[in-house]
């Protein structure tokens, strides 16, 4: 079945450093979504990318969808302590009825 | 306030004792689903429902049942819980499967002894 892989599993950064998490799908995706889960919280939708090669920005966050629509990345510029949490990518499963999540990247920020 | 609610938030139970985790949304969403979250495995979909009386298996449905008798409610039933079902469970809803933005409930932490 379809797999969505995410790396790295963990990332510790010093406050002010940049951070990137990568997502790779075993199949072509019609779209990809990104979620953030704060420690002890629930996943919260960040963004959805639909077009091949699409790049979207939300303040310090930059999201990219690969040309082949099989990979995506989330880049955070100059991390802050408020960025701490787990970042998940997710893509539609076969027939678009399911949502398949990556295992997530846990971000820790040292101040 | 638009939200997804789950109850209970925490539950400790014993093997074999049937339990139900309730989920309700007030956004008139068609699509609802249940996920379990385990360390290193991310969120795995258990069951989903595209509308009233329409449910289907996700990736890890064994040991679970669901029902969708009303649009707003989507309970998760564990007929005979086992320790390997100890996990953090999330209910989520979205306007439709195509809109895809999922709104998650606060989570239910279940421990089966």
pLDDT at B64 over 90: yes
* Mutate which: A99, A100, A102, vs B, most B CBs within 10 A: A99
pLDDT at B96 over 90: no
Task: Note whether B101 contacts A97, CB cutoff 8 Å.
Answer: no
Range B2-31 average pLDDT: 97
Report angle CA A60, A64, A68 to the nearest 5 degrees.
175
> What is the reported pLDDT for B99?
62
pLDDT at B97 over 80: no
Which of A30, A50, A51 has the alpha carbon at shortest distance from A98? Answer: A30
Neighbouring CB atoms inside 10 A of A49's CB total 22
d(CA B92, CA B101): 10
Range B24-44 average pLDDT: 95
pLDDT at B92 over 90: yes
- Give the least confident one: A72-86, A93-107, B38-52: A93-107
Q: What percent of chain B has pLDDT over 70?
A: 98
Task: Note whether B90 contacts A42, CB cutoff 8 Å.
Answer: yes
- Identify the band that residue B1 occupies on the pLDDT scale cut at 50, 70 and 90: confident
> What is the reported pLDDT for B5?
98
pLDDT at B40 over 90: no
> What is the reported pLDDT for A97?
79
pLDDT at A94 over 90: no
Chain B hits for A1, Cβ within 8 Å: 59
Mean pLDDT of all residues in chain A?
95
Contacts of A99 (CB under 8 A, 6+ apart): A33, A90, A91, A92, A93, B33, B45, B100, B102
Mean pLDDT of all residues in chain B?
95
pLDDT of A21-74, one tens digit each? 999 999 999 999 999 999 999 999 999 999 999 999 999 999 999 999 999 999
- Identify the band that residue B100 occupies on the pLDDT scale cut at 50, 70 and 90: confident
Task: Note whether A90 contacts B43, CB cutoff 8 Å.
Answer: yes
d(CA A2, CA B111): 29
Cβ distance A13 to A21 under 8 Å?
no
């Amino acid at each position: 079945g379809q797999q969505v892989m995410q790396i790295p599993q963990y990332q510790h950064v010093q406050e002010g450093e940049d951070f990137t998490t990568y997502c790779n799908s075993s199949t072509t995706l019609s779209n990809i979504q990104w979620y953030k889960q704060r420690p002890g919280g629930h996943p919260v939708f960040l963004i959805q990318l639909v077009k091949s090669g699409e790049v979207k920005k939300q303040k310090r966050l930059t999201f990219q969808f690969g040309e082949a629509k099989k990979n995506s990345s989330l880049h955070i510029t100059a991390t802050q302590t408020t960025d701490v949490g787990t970042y998940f990518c997710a893509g539609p499963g076969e027939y678009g009825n399911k949502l398949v999540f990556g295992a997530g990247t846990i971000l820790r920020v040292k101040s | 306030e638009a939200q997804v609610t789950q109850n209970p938030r925490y539950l400790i139970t014993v093997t074999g004792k049937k339990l139900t985790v309730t989920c309700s949304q007030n956004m008139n969403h068609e699509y609802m689903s249940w996920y379990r979250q385990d360390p290193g495995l991310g969120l795995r979909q258990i069951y989903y429902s595209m509308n009233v009386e329409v449910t289907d298996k996700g990736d890890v449905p064994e040991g679970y049942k669901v029902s969708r008798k009303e649009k707003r409610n989507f309970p998760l039933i564990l007929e005979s819980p086992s320790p390997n079902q100890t996990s953090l469970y999330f209910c989520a809803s979205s306007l439709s499967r195509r809109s895809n933005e999922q709104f998650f409930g606060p989570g239910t932490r279940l421990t089966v002894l």
